[in-house]
Structure 1
Amino acid sequence: MKTGFLRLLVVPTVVGVFVLTAGAAKAQISLNYDDLSSFEEPLAFEIGQATVLVGGVIDVPVKLTVDDSIFHGDVDVSLVTNLDISIEMQLANRWNVGVSYFGQYDENRNDYEDNVAGFVRTSWGSLIGGNVDGLVREATRRRRAVGNSNLAFDDFYGRINRWGGGYSGRFGPAILTGIADADGNFELGGQFQRPIGRRDYRFSARVAKARYLAPDGVTDFETLGAAIVGEFVYGSSLFDLGFGYENLQAGPIDLNRWYISGGTQTKIGVLSLSAAGHYGELDGTSEASASLGMRYDIARGLSTNLGVNARKAQIARDGISVVNEDETSATASLRYSF
């Protein structure tokens, strides 16, 4: 299966994003691309003419890892914190200008990562520049699961560069987002969401031209992918399903990948539960993952979280390891979000 039909899909999508900008309204910008996120509304206050929004998470996880179905004593206790800040002010012409910042520290990895972006928001939509590589993914992905659940492989392998620029705008019940980097890679996506009767429906689509660096650190694949997601909400329960296709090319290597992911989550009083599964094939070899999550709300912003996650995909072609993942883990944590 070649990439011709994907290119036919990409071209009209690119045109559609920019033709429809004439009717756009503002769309929210978030630089948190991690699965650890606050479920509380951010704190808001004013400094002079600027409005500041602040949110964050403090998490203390205990992680037990099992490799090859044999427990070998890997237990990690660490501290993870993140901070999300947005500063925005309105100009005399009623344009809003601002900057968003997200930072996360992981004690286990002894690593601090951050994203920053500036934006200009008008009645026609928002122009954005900075570390915006995850914006389209966040706008079109399946809903984040609860607790410490994290479903592996539920995305394209390919990624665009961290630095880039693009546009995001709302058109009634629809939001369109397009991002491009300096190397000519891009992601385009849209979502449509509205209630019908007592039920809420959301549909999203995403296409991406990107790159994927294999585990050997040398082989660099060009990728082209397309994915769709459908979501259904009734009462306190949510059900969603996603399909994706991706083509990977590096020299004479030409691989095709497809996958399907689905899950459900519900809330019963102070208890939230989620379950999800994934199956796909890369050039005929399978990849699979599953996750279970639970969150128990103790007080405003304070919760106990559990998660069990499993993933397996060991695929090599022409002597090159394309993906090498095989892990099962259980994580419990005490979390405070604001």
Structure 2
Amino acid sequence: MMTSGPSRFPWHPLAVGVIALSAGSAQAQVSLNYDSLSSFEEPLAFEIGEATVLVGGVVDVPVKLTVDDSVFDGDVDVSLVTNLDFSVEMQLANRWNVGLAYFGQYDENTRDYDDNVAGFVRTSWGSLIGGNVDGLVREATRRRRGVGNADLAFDDFYGRINRWGGGYSGRFGPTTLTGIVDGDGRFELGAQFQRPVGHKDYRVATRVARARYLAADGVTDFDTIGVGAVGEFVYGSSLFDLGLGYENLQAGAIDLDRWYVSGGAQTKIGVLSLSAAGHYGELDGTSESSASLGVRYDIARGLSTNVGVNARKAQVARDGISVVDEDETSATASVRYSF
């Protein structure tokens, strides 16, 4: 059994600089929904006294068929999934905005209720945020999610920072900067640039993360450092994007290098939305791959039917340690109402 040794990465002092990012205009609404199930409707907004409240949510009834290790095992799940995205914000006399954001999700199949909460102070110089903010940089710099029930696996670093942390987010014209530091000094830094040119829209984003990864054996901790970039092109109702990434994983004497490339496209034709995406990478010379297809049919405002087919495979072991062990293909259909 291997456990992680002392970190050899020289990046730690960079984490201190997250709060020192300079002036810009305020960042948009804070959302703590890091899940693939999210509303595509604008949130409901109303006022209570001096406070502005934004509420959004999803009710989803999925039917999922799973093929594990290339053999259909009769695993068919029918469940109810609901989530709620809530924020309240008010302006102080000095024109600073203070607020609280909350996200909760209940899955009937697993009987799990997961939630995130964070407080923030927003000024003309940007926003300071604290709480369950581990996914904020990822959400600001990631490739666009597929439609329907598409969910592309491995399209991210393996390493994650802790749920609790604090950081900064600010927008400077077409550029958005975001940085988060957790209680152990691990961090994520990200930048996004987005601007329309004529009838087209271009977006580029980059992200650096120093984090940890718990291996598939459930015991071994890896220290990780990752660097990634995303490019996106939008023309009319169609979107095309590409993501590249490199990650180093270290635990004791084990030192693994990983690289990957992900790409996809999606389009909307009337009430029908379609997406397709694929991923290929290698961890210490062993391949990982995934693919996803998604379809959404809009029935009425907020009401839709959704289909997704997702496949993933990565089985890597080193020095008797199972680092990654994934091999599954699934198809999911659902009726969804979002508000």
- TM-score, normalization: structure 2? 0.95
Asked whether the equivalents of residues 27 and 126 of structure 1 are also in contact (C-alpha less than 8 Å), the reply is: no
Alignment match, 1:171: 172
Is 2:339 the partner of 1:304?
A: no
Amino acid of the structure 2 residue aligned with 1:169: G
Measure, in 1, the Cα distance between the counterparts of 2:271 and 2:25: 38
Asked whether the equivalents of residues 148 and 306 of structure 1 are also in contact (C-alpha less than 8 Å), the reply is: yes
SS of the aligned residue for 2:149 comes to: coil
Alignment match, 1:87: 88
Measure, in 1, the Cα distance between the counterparts of 2:19 and 2:333: 45
Q: How does 1:36-47 map to 2 (within 5 A)?
A: 36-47=37-48
Measure, in 2, the Cα distance between the counterparts of 1:13 and 1:143: 27
Amino acid of the structure 2 residue aligned with 1:329: S
Is 2:139 the partner of 1:141?
A: no
SS of the aligned residue for 1:324 comes to: strand
Q: How does 1:182-331 map to 2 (within 5 A)?
A: 182-331=183-332
Measure, in 2, the Cα distance between the counterparts of 1:22 and 1:276: 37
Shift of 1:7: 5.9
Asked whether the equivalents of residues 64 and 76 of structure 1 are also in contact (C-alpha less than 8 Å), the reply is: yes
Q: CA RMSD in A?
A: 1.5
SS of the aligned residue for 1:161 comes to: coil
SS of the aligned residue for 2:140 comes to: helix
Measure, in 1, the Cα distance between the counterparts of 2:302 and 2:258: 40
Measure, in 2, the Cα distance between the counterparts of 1:279 and 1:271: 28
Q: Which runs of 5+ in 1 are unaligned?
A: 1-5
Q: Which runs of 5+ in 2 are unaligned?
A: 1-8
Measure, in 2, the Cα distance between the counterparts of 1:130 and 1:23: 22
Is 2:105 the partner of 1:107?
A: no
Q: Where in structure 1 do 4 or more consecutive aligned residues deviate above 3 Å?
A: 10-15, 17-20
Shift of 1:216: 1.4
Asked whether the equivalents of residues 189 and 206 of structure 1 are also in contact (C-alpha less than 8 Å), the reply is: yes
Is 2:125 the partner of 1:124?
A: yes
Measure, in 1, the Cα distance between the counterparts of 2:277 and 2:27: 32
The count of corresponding residues between Structure 1 and Structure 2 is 331
Shift of 1:128: 0.2
Shift of 1:289: 0.1
SS of the aligned residue for 1:315 comes to: strand
Shift of 1:19: 6.0
Shift of 1:53: 0.2
Measure, in 1, the Cα distance between the counterparts of 2:70 and 2:186: 39
Asked whether the equivalents of residues 27 and 175 of structure 1 are also in contact (C-alpha less than 8 Å), the reply is: no
CA pair 11-260 structure 1, distance change in 2 beyond 3 A: farther
Measure, in 2, the Cα distance between the counterparts of 1:12 and 1:325: 33
Shift of 1:25: 3.0
The answer to which of 17-26 and 127-136 deviates more is 17-26
